[in-house]
């Protein structure tokens, strides 16, 4: 009887110890998961802080390099070049600043009034150049858009159309003109009579500090007789995008920060931020 009681007691002790070990193991596992989760959160916070640092560098560069809000804005100026000295141990920050007025401004197509025929034809040529099924300018008339991605809801706009077109489009609001000093060859090839080869030469031969007036551009010997219209064209900008790519260990994060400047006060304003997955290649 005593041996049976001792056996039962031993089994009880073993069961209690096993239960204690299971509880301890569960607690350790929960603790490890909590530590891992905390480490992930800290890592993501570091990525975001580094991307904001890149944005801050870009904003300061715009302030320093574009002092006069009404001055010429050109792709060869200092604001468009340079690399921030922001690298730290195990981290790398790359910053690019883009003049959004170098894109096609969708705002010109969204008004309630009929779209200007010159702008409508440039819109058609852009789609033709990018080899997508054209969406007529009249389809967009009267729409209210706050982001280019909302075009996906427009009849005729599919995933391929949006992927091809989005890198060349912007929503600048009232007064947005295509900046001939920063526009890519693709956008210049939408102008009247300008071929793709000619547009590439125009970009290659464009003055680093830009054209002082639209007329200086339209009166170029290569353009005379082609019928290039000056309407919708400009030489400045108040809209810019700061794109920051951050690498921290094996992780990457991309931040797009859209900035606008008040032409009267010269003050800069952050319009929006977008944290995105990194892109290995950008359209140019």
Three-state secondary-structure class, residue 251 = strand
Q: Residue 281 has what pLDDT?
A: 41
Q: Residue 22 has what pLDDT?
A: 72
Name residue 170's beta-bridge partners. Answer: 105
Alpha helices (H) along 213-271: 214-218
Q: Residue 85 has what pLDDT?
A: 67
Report DSSP state, residue 232: T
CA 45 to CA 253: how far, in whole Å?
11
Q: Residue 280 has what pLDDT?
A: 47
Q: Residue 36 has what pLDDT?
A: 53
Q: Residue 109 has what pLDDT?
A: 94
- The CA angle 138-218-235, to the nearest 5 degrees, is 75
Summarised one tens digit per residue, pLDDT across range 36-65 is 556 567 768 888 999 999 999 999 999 999
Q: Residue 164 has what pLDDT?
A: 97
**In the structure encoding, which two tokens stand for residue 183, read together?**
């526009």
Q: Are 45 and 151 in contact (CB under 8 A)?
A: no
Given a cut of 50, the residues of the chain with pLDDT beneath it are 280-284
Q: Between β-strands 91-99 and 104-105, what pairing exists: parallel, antiparallel or unpaired?
A: unpaired
């Amino acid at each position: 009887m005593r041996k049976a009681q001792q056996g039962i007691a031993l089994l009880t002790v073993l069961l209690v110890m096993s239960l204690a070990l299971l509880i301890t193991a569960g607690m350790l596992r929960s603790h490890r998961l909590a530590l891992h989760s905390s480490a992930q959160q800290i890592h993501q916070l570091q990525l975001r802080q580094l991307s904001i640092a890149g944005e801050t560098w870009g904003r300061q560069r715009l302030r320093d390099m574009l002092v006069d809000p009404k001055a010429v804005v050109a792709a060869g100026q200092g604001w468009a070049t340079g690399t921030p000295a922001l690298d730290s141990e195990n981290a790398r920050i790359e910053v690019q600043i883009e003049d959004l007025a170098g894109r096609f401004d969708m705002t010109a197509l969204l008004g309630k009034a009929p779209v200007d025929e010159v702008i409508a034809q440039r819109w058609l040529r852009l789609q033709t150049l990018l080899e997508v099924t054209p969406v007529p300018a009249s389809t967009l008339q009267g729409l209210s858009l706050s982001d280019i991605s909302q075009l996906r809801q427009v009849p005729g706009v599919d995933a391929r159309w949006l992927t091809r077109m989005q890198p060349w489009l912007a929503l600048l609001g009232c007064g947005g003109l295509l900046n001939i000093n920063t526009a890519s060859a693709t956008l210049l090839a939408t102008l009247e009579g300008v071929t793709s080869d000619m547009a590439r030469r125009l970009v290659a031969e464009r003055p680093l500090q830009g054209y002082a007036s639209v007329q200086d551009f339209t009166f170029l010997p290569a353009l005379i007789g082609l019928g290039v219209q000056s309407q919708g064209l400009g030489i400045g900008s108040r809209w810019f995008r700061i794109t920051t790519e951050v690498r921290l260990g094996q992780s990457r994060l991309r931040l797009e920060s859209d900035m606008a400047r008040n032409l009267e006060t010269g003050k800069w304003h952050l319009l929006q931020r977008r944290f995105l997955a990194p892109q290995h290649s950008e359209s140019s």
